[in-house]
Structures are given as C-alpha cells and as structure tokens.
C-alpha cells in the first residue's frame, strides 16, 4: 500500500508542476502578443505621422487614436521593453546621407 501512496503523491506533484508550466507558458504567450501589438501600433504611428507630415493625410485623428491605444496597452501590460526589438539593424533600410533627399519610392535624390 505504501508504494501506491508514493506513486499517487508523485502523480499529484507532476500534475502540479505541469499546471505551473502551463501558466508560465500562457504568461509568455500574452507577453509576446502584447509586444507584437505594441510594435504594430508603433509602426502605424510612424506611418500616420509620415502621411501627416508629407501632406497625404489631413488632421491628426489617426495619430491621436493610435496614441490612445498605446496608452491603453501600456496601462494594461505596463511599459513594454523596446530594447529587444524584433527587427535587427541588418534588416533596416539604409538611412539617407545628410546631404541627399529621398524620393517617395524610397530612393535617393542626389
């Protein structure tokens, strides 16, 4: 009977550890989803500001909407650590030299 009791206790411990691991995994998934939403909103904010500054958009309603979403996301999840950005510097487009202008297509005017 003692052997069965030990096996039962071990099974309960394993079940408890599996449950804890599941909770930790769920937490990690939620963190990744928040980070992706944060990155998407920052991308949208950049696009909206670009459109506004280049004259292709009127008003700043879109910028205000995105800023509100970012504020709400930060209130729900705390500040998002942007130091571990998903984009690496090798994936980024080259920046324009200071003495050149860029075209809307992304090329450089010399």
For residue 92, pLDDT over 60 is answered with no
From CA 19, how far away is CA 29, in angstroms rounded?
15
Per the structure, the complete domain to which residue 42 belongs is given by 28-72
Pairing label, strands 108-109, 101-102:
antiparallel
| Residue predicted with more confidence, 93 or 16 | 16
Q: What is the pTM of this model?
A: 0.54
| Residue predicted with more confidence, 1 or 98 | 1
For the stretch 7-63, pLDDT in tens is 999 999 999 999 999 988 988 998 899 899 999 999 999 988 888 888 887 668 888
Question: 35 lies in a domain?
Answer: yes
Tally the domains of the chain: 1
Question: 49 lies in a domain?
Answer: yes
For residue 66, pLDDT over 60 is answered with yes
From CA 61, how far away is CA 67, in angstroms rounded?
10
Question: 40 lies in a domain?
Answer: yes
């Amino acid at each position: 009977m003692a052997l069965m009791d030990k096996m039962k206790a071990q099974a309960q411990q394993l079940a408890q550890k599996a449950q804890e691991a599941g909770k930790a995994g769920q937490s990690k998934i939620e963190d990744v989803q928040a980070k992706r939403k944060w990155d998407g909103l920052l991308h949208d904010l950049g696009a909206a500001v670009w459109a506004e500054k280049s004259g292709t958009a009127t008003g700043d309603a879109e910028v205000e909407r995105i800023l509100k979403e970012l504020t709400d996301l930060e209130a729900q999840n705390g500040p998002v650590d942007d130091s571990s950005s998903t984009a690496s510097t090798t994936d980024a487009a080259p920046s324009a030299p200071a003495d050149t202008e860029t075209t809307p297509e992304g090329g450089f005017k010399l």
